[in-house]
């Protein structure tokens, strides 16, 4: 069965079970802009400026586009209301699903807007230790800085991940029916870089 037929069959099954398609539930809205790092230059205290920079970046980090793939449990979340993934799926040992239901079984290399199916070549959940759901921004910030809870990454690697990773970039091109993350990936990268330069201080 081709990927397109598989997705169409899944959509038909969801309709038959009375489950709404994403295109029927959510309406995309224009994305809010992010302030530039330069707009925080008026904060003379370096630590306070650093915390303010991360707070601005936090508009992206805490958006559904990010949190839905950083859930507290073993199921991804969906949509602006962040409901549990339908149909039910599980994280699996590697974040790419279980042996019987891999993420790539439905999520192909690109968005399939006909049925509201998001897509990317490496569609998967973030590791459990990187769960952000239900955490405050200062808790997420501390987690991002901790190699034991950020996938073993240095701050420079965190910057590279946020600023250039194409799966992160999907958040700004999520397809029909989804609200993009605020600003742009380039703007997020600039904020994270400026946050690092000013000491990577977490908000309180």
pLDDT digits 0-9 by tens, 80-91 = 999 999 999 999
- The per-residue pLDDT for 131 is 94
Would you give the distance in Å from CA 40 to the centre of its chain? 25
Nearest 5°: the CA angle 203, 144, 174 is 100
Whether the per-residue pLDDT at 26 is higher than 50: the answer is no
Token pair of 124 as six digits: 């998967």
Average pLDDT over residues 149-166: 95
Looking at residue 177, its pLDDT comes to 87
Q: Crossing angle, helix 137-145 and helix 155-164, to 10 degrees? A: 120
pLDDT score of 147: 94
Q: Residue 142 has what pLDDT? A: 97
Does the pLDDT at position 61 exceed 80? yes
Share of the chain above pLDDT 70, in %: 85
pLDDT at 4 over 90: no
Is 51's pLDDT higher than 90?
yes
Q: What is the pLDDT of residues 124-137, one digit of tens each?
A: 999 999 999 999 99
Find the mean pLDDT for residues 12-39.
Answer: 60
Say if residue 15's pLDDT is above 80: no
pLDDT tens digits for range 92-126? 999 999 999 999 999 999 999 998 899 999 999 99
- Grouping H, G, I as helix, E, B as strand and the rest as coil, residue 78 is strand
- Does residue 102 or residue 17 have the better pLDDT? 102
**Which two tokens mark 80?**
């602006």
Instruction: Measure the CA dihedral 146/152/153/158, to 10°.
Output: -70
Do residues 171 and 60 touch, judged by C-beta distance below 8 A? yes
Q: What percent of the chain has pLDDT over 90?
A: 80
What local confidence, expressed as pLDDT, does residue 6 receive?
54
């Amino acid at each position: 069965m081709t990927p397109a037929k598989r997705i169409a069959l899944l959509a038909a099954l969801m309709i038959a079970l009375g489950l709404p398609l994403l295109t029927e539930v959510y309406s995309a809205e224009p994305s809010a802009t992010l302030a530039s790092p330069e707009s925080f230059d008026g904060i003379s205290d370096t630590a306070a400026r650093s915390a303010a920079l991360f707070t601005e970046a936090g508009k992206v980090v805490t958006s559904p586009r990010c949190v839905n793939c950083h859930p507290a449990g073993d199921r991804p979340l969906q949509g602006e209301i962040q409901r549990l993934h339908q149909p039910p799926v599980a994280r699996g040992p590697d974040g790419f699903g279980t042996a019987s239901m891999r993420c790539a079984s439905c999520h192909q290399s690109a968005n399939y807007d006909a049925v509201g199916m998001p897509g990317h070549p490496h569609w998967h959940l973030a590791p459990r230790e990187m769960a952000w759901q239900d955490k405050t921004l200062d808790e997420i910030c501390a987690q991002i800085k901790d190699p034991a809870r950020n996938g073993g990454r240095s701050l420079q690697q965190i910057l590279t991940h946020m600023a250039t990773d194409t799966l992160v970039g999907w958040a700004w091109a999520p397809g029909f029916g989804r609200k993009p993350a605020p600003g742009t990936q380039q703007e997020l990268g600039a904020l994270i870089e400026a946050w690092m330069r000013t000491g990577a201080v977490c908000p309180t």
